Amino acid sequence: MRTCAHNTGAEVGCWLRLCYTNDEGHEALWSANETAEWVTYGGAVLDDESLFGGLDLAAALELFPERVTDEPVNLGLREESLREAVDGAENYPSEENPLERYAFCQADCVVTHIYVEDEVAVNGGGLLHVFLDDCGNVVRQWRVEDDGSEDNYDGAWHERLWKEAIRDDCGEIGPAYHEGGSRGPPYTL
């Protein structure tokens, strides 16, 4: 795997297969990918049961951390975004989801994304689209809907369109970004 590590950065899509119990479900997902191009022909496809079978995402990233560690981090942008979120927090009216006020900051923490084929996905629940920070923490994640919004995602990644989805409070916030999490509020600057 190390020989292909140079081609694993966020500039190319990545498909990570973690579930090997439903070949029919896998084939259906892969067939859908050929049309939707969630991960295009130049992307990294991590599909090896002897390496990834039975693992969760965190364990898989420990085996192949280059997906996260090879990405540049703009610490200045992240700090500025966090400062703006903290300064404006008292003016943000969301009682429904108080973490939403930090969506811009969360978006600025993302360095890469991975499509994860897990048990839910192979059983018809949709691929898990995971956005990660520079430490491998899940920033946001959501299930891919069959509505075309994720089609040809390499292009959307390059144009940074995914930031809008995060800023619009799309998906589930990762545990590290919840209050008290390693990257979550309360923040002190």
Distance CA 131, CA 147 (A): 20
Examine residue 37 and state whether it is found in any structural domain, yes or no.
Answer: yes
Beta bridge partners of 165: none
pLDDT less than 70: residues of the chain:
1-11, 89-95, 155, 188-189
Examine residue 185 and state whether it is found in any structural domain, yes or no.
Answer: no
Per the structure, the complete domain to which residue 133 belongs is given by 2-177
- The per-residue pLDDT for 53 is 94
The pTM assigned to this predicted structure is 0.86
Distance CA 140, CA 165 (A): 10
93-102, long-range: CB within 8 Å, 24+ apart, which pairs? 97/169, 98/179, 99/173, 99/177, 99/178, 99/179, 99/184, 99/185, 100/169, 102/177, 102/185
Amino acid at site 122: V
Examine residue 184 and state whether it is found in any structural domain, yes or no.
Answer: no
Examine residue 187 and state whether it is found in any structural domain, yes or no.
Answer: no
Domains: count for the chain: 1
